Structure 1
Amino acid sequence: MPEETRVDVLIVGAGPAGVMCANALAAAGIRVKIMDQRPSRVVSGHADGIQSRTIEVLQSYSFAERLFKEGHQMHMFAFYNPDSDGVLVRTGRSPAINAPTARYPFWILLHQGGIESIFTDSMAGHGLTIDRPVAPALIELSNDSEQLADMFSYPVKVRTSPGVGAVER
């Protein structure tokens, strides 16, 4: 029989949004569990850019220093397209700033795995780790009206199964 865990919030997916949410909730003292079907974090190339306003948000979590240390500042975008002979040529440039009043006039480039590591390291400080590889298999909602009305009850059950790349034992 699988172990039963009671949490206030279950987060399915440990990408940038999932780990940011889990970290914030854990820091606020909320009982949270986060799971992901992938056997390990993403190691390269998905969500690799952090906009200037997002840098400000991450600074509020005291992550900006690590972003600056591990990432690279991008101040300009360059656009390339094929010319009439099919040769790639630069067709435009644009400043990376998307919010003229932002504190940081640039983006930070850091691969998604690096961004996720910043959050997972912080989560570890709150005793929270990502369950991998695990995915929800069945969600059960109680039909008991009293249980559904009680804000301290746990009327939702989520049964899990091994995620992508998992080995059943």
Structure 2
Amino acid sequence: MPTRYRSRVTTGLNDYQFVASLHVQHPSVDPDEVTGTLKLDPKSIKRRGERRHRPDGGLLTGTYNENHWSADLEIVSGHDVSEFLEDLIDTQISHATNLTRQIDCTHGSVTVFIGVFAVGLCDFEIPASTLSRLGKAGISVRLDYYNGVGNGDKDDKAK
């Protein structure tokens, strides 16, 4: 199945799209180690002690107090959130649980961010078995719901 960075789910009364990214924060784990272990191309790396920057690249005062690494995650077209999380565990996380648990146990965090875009009804369930697997790997989930902003289709932007 082809992959991409957004999936649209239209089952029953549901009609939503979602995107996902992985975020790792830690005071001392090297972002290069995260890249090598997860085998993902980072979208952003911020290193502890580096000067802080605005999103447009301008300088801010102060320095980063910990390392931050993030990457956009591919989603199999048509997968819902639960299927995506299971696939993520099986394909991206299973070989990296030593690192993710180490980060979680030493004052860091590994978080899967999921942004859900829906105009109408949107509901889904994440099974306890999936949540348990994520927890054992030291990974948390952040869900952000964007209501009334459309599904991100080009047609929505034209309205």
TM-score, length-scaled by structure 2: 0.29
Q: Which has the larger radius of gyration?
A: 1
Greater fraction of residues in strand: 2
